[in-house]
Structure 1
Amino acid sequence: MASHTVTVGFDLDMTLIDSRPGIKAAFEELSARTGTFVDAELAITRLGPPLEQELAHWFPDERIPEISDLYRGLYPEYAIGPTPALPGAREAIEAVRRAGGRSVVVTAKHEPNAKLHLSHLGIVPDAVVGWLWAEAKAEALREYGATVYVGDHTGDIRGARVADALSVAVPTGPCGAEELRQAGADVVLEDLTAFPAWLECHLDGESTGS
């Protein structure tokens, strides 16, 4: 591989981790605690945006700050254990390290809970930045000098574009491959298992993807 350094950003939910089982469990406990029905099965089909957007479907606006705090407090107990890494996640982070680069996870998730997921799964990026969604992700991508951002959602593509980073998309979340392409992804990989080979080609100046 050519001797280059690179900083690669990664989204978390449905890019590095399959957070659906954990989030479902957390929403079910939230529903039990509040006595308010939350369709957890529906909620996990639209992961990506900030928690508050999902809670707005189930709770009045004036309760969302309170309910958000409750959910985030429940999250470590109910959501961390059931959540697995997605195929290729650890290998993708390691591929960046082998290339002499840095990896930064940039996510809309509550940052302490994002760090708990990564620690639990033994995924070790160089930095983790939470509380950023869509175009706002560009703040962290620019701060860390990321030239590539990997995500599963059209919001991730928008963040990459604002940061002038190459958008690499994986259809492992709520958005299909064609939707990601139409949203402007520069590269669409089947999943992260394809990322190490793509990165090697990219750093050698041979941009590949579909």
Structure 2
Amino acid sequence: MSSVPGTDDTAAPPRPSSAVPVVGFDLDMTLVDSSAGIAATMRAVLAEVGVEVSAADVWPYAGMPLELIVAGLAPGRSASEVARLTARYRELYPALGVPTVRSYPAAAAALSAPAGHGGRSVVVSAKHTPNVHRVLAGTGLASSIAAQDVTGDLFAEDKGVRLRELGATAYVGDHPGDVRAARVAGAVAVAVTTGSHDAAALREAGADVVLGGLEDFPAWLEGHATDLRDGKRTVPGPR
């Protein structure tokens, strides 16, 4: 129920007022292919408690918070055990995961593109914040993003809150949770099919735009930047 007569508290948040693009990017499977490192680290952690999983078992969980991945792959564990295994993963990831991560070929250009329209890029990820910085540095992408514009340890709607604080006009990600994040932020939900979800699943989740990869992003951004300059509403209402 609305707290103010004649209003609806459940309405979608207003779109960002920026006249220039402020574009948020997810990290894993959006800017970088981190699948091998995530699988290797998760397999090592779970093997320590006698749980054997394959890379194929880990793949559907790409982009999700670690606690949910651990609980899904090793069901029946107590909350304290899940927390311990999550901490162990974060301990091992710099050595087992980071060296295998590769940026997608168009990632650096995509991160730099908003600046060409007077805007900027931000990175908001579910990955542990120190590891986000390690991955960006290890893949050479750190030079394309300001350190203060990097946030980790957030998923789905929680990402959206941070994106709204940053004034994001669009959010690019590979997971349905990223679409939900864009909705909370009042930003355009731009999905890429480089993760474990195909175009149909991302459209079903409510993505406004589905791209095959970041190589298609600069062309889309041209139209988005023009709409912002012209004051056009580029963020649809609730679905």
Q: Offset at 1:39?
A: 3.3
CA RMSD after TM alignment: 1.6
Please list the CA deviations of residues 51-91 of structure 1 after superposition, one character each: whole Å capped at 9, or x if unmatched. 11111131512311111111100000010111111231111
Equivalent position of 1:175 in the other structure: 197
TM-score for the superposition, normalised by structure 1: 0.91
Equivalent position of 1:51 in the other structure: 66
Computing the radius of gyration over CA atoms, which structure comes out larger, 1 or 2? 2
Percent sequence identity over aligned pairs: 46
SS in 1 for 2:32: coil
Q: Offset at 1:107?
A: 0.8
SS in 1 for 2:33: coil
Q: Distance in 1 between matches of 2:182 and 2:127?
A: 17
Q: Could you tell me which amino acid in structure 2 is paired with residue 68 of structure 1? A: T
Q: Distance in 2 between matches of 1:31 and 1:188?
A: 34
Equivalent position of 1:5 in the other structure: 20
Tell me which of 67, 73, 80 is aligned to 2:98.
80
Query: Is contact 1:87–1:191 with CA below 8 Å preserved after alignment?
Result: no
SS in 1 for 2:122: strand
Query: Is contact 1:7–1:145 with CA below 8 Å preserved after alignment?
Result: yes
Q: Distance in 2 between matches of 1:162 and 1:28?
A: 34
Count, aligned residues: 204
Runs of 4+ in structure 1 over 4 Å off: none
Equivalent position of 1:114 in the other structure: 132
Q: Runs of 5+ in structure 1 lacking a partner?
A: none
Matched, 1:184 2:202: no
SS in 2 for 1:8: strand
Please list the CA deviations of residues 141-167 of structure 1 after superposition, one character each: whole Å capped at 9, or x if unmatched. 011100100011111001101111011
SS in 2 for 1:34: coil
Query: Is contact 2:175–2:202 with CA below 8 Å preserved after alignment?
Result: yes
Q: Distance in 2 between matches of 1:128 and 1:115?
A: 8
Matched, 1:99 2:121: no
Q: Runs of 5+ in structure 2 lacking a partner?
A: 1-18, 235-239
Matched, 1:26 2:46: no
SS in 1 for 2:102: coil
Q: Structure 1 residues 32-41 or 78-87, which shifts more? A: 32-41
Equivalent position of 1:69 in the other structure: 87
Query: Is contact 2:36–2:55 with CA below 8 Å preserved after alignment?
Result: no
